[in-house]
Amino acid sequence: MRPTRSEARPQPANVSGDSGHEAAPRRINRRRLLAGASLAAAVVPLGVAIDGVAITPRRLVTSTHTCGSASGVDPLRILQVSDLHVHGIGTLEQQLLEGLHGARADLIVLTGDAIDRAASLPALDTLLAEFPTGPRRLAILGNWEYRCGVDLRDLEKTYERHGVELLVNRSVDFDHRGRSMRITGLDDIVGGRPDAAFALASVQPLDEHLVLAHCPITRDSLAMPPDHPVSLVLSGHTHGGQVAPFGLATILPRGCGRYVAGWYRDDGPPMYVSRGIGTSLFPVRIGATPELVVIDWRR
């Protein structure tokens, strides 16, 4: 028997597997897409905020650098502690103490803004009591020591009690392995009056000269006597921008100039600008991790 026309017609494939109807093409649910985008827009800033308040400000990194061209000699190891803004002894300060004791430094320098309120002087006293006693220890003033109204004589006594010399437009000599170098601590350019000529008026020139200046813009106007050239400048103040997403500093305080963080070797003596330890005004750090600086100076 010949098949009828209806029997001979090919049947459509059953693409649904069980319903017998063709599957409709999948469409992106616009409402779900918008909901997902809104959720991402809320979660990302929240994550950044949590990191900026609870994680990055409490995570200390140690950056190690080498300067100088000499080889085959034991370097002078300098630890730079800048912008402590200490209020107490917490996780960050404990990490700092561990780093200081583990680094076996020859010289520890505190480059300003150790405190930002007069009431924090006892906290600084407690912290300094835990510093390693072997290295020589020097400190300078920053803008916040002036701004917070602490009695600078009390601050100096606190430093002295723990073997830290406060240099305010003053120079000292430091001997390391039979060689002498000059260290000059300048007053802060924002809160005080740096005076290099005064700091060097009564000393003889030395071949190597380290300058401590809290604000990096000081480098642009050091006004050093010609017979006292500068080998290296250590500064802080900038906090690396403190809020610097993707490494881009959004706001820098007065006294920074063009400097943000790290090495600057153009148009002047080599200078390292530390991101510092603590925070200023707001307890937030984004893209600017607290930093303990280790410099091995091959003299």
Domains of the chain: 61-297 (3.60.21.10)
3-state secondary structure of 245: helix
**pLDDT value for 56:** 80
Q: Of 14-23, 106-115, 255-264, which gets the smallest average pLDDT?
A: 14-23
**Helical H segments across the chain, by residue range:** 5-8, 30-50, 91-103, 121-128, 143-147, 152-161, 196-199
pTM of the full predicted structure? 0.83
Q: How far apart are CA 66 and CA 82, in angstroms?
A: 18
Kindly report the average pLDDT of the chain as a whole number. Answer: 87
Q: Of 54-68, 95-109, 264-278, which gets the smallest average pLDDT?
A: 54-68
Rounded to a whole number, what is the largest CA-CA distance in the chain?
127
Q: How confident is the model at residue 188 (pLDDT cuts 50, 70, 90)?
A: very high
Q: Is the pLDDT of residue 270 over 80?
A: yes
Burial-class residue 148 by CB neighbours within 10 Å (0-12, 13-18, 19+): middle
Query: Rounded mean pLDDT of 177-189?
Result: 96
Q: How confident is the model at residue 102 (pLDDT cuts 50, 70, 90)?
A: very high
Q: pLDDT tens for residues 189-225?
A: 999 999 999 999 989 999 999 999 999 999 999 999 9
Q: Is the pLDDT of residue 4 over 60?
A: no
Query: Rounded mean pLDDT of 249-260?
Result: 94
3-state secondary structure of 154: helix
Q: In what order do the strands lie in the sheet with 76-81?
A: 61-67, 291-297, 76-81, 107-111, 136-140, 164-166
**pLDDT value for 172:** 98
Query: Rounded mean pLDDT of 82-103?
Result: 97
**pLDDT value for 7:** 47
Q: pLDDT tens for residues 25-62?
A: 455 566 655 555 554 444 445 455 566 555 787 899 99
**pLDDT value for 293:** 98
Amino acid at 59: R
Q: Which of 184, 127, 119 minimizes the C-alpha distance to 154?
A: 119
| Contact yes or no for 38/46 (Cβ under 8 A) | no
| Contact yes or no for 68/209 (Cβ under 8 A) | no
The more confident residue out of 299 and 43 is 299
Structure tokens at 245: 């997403």
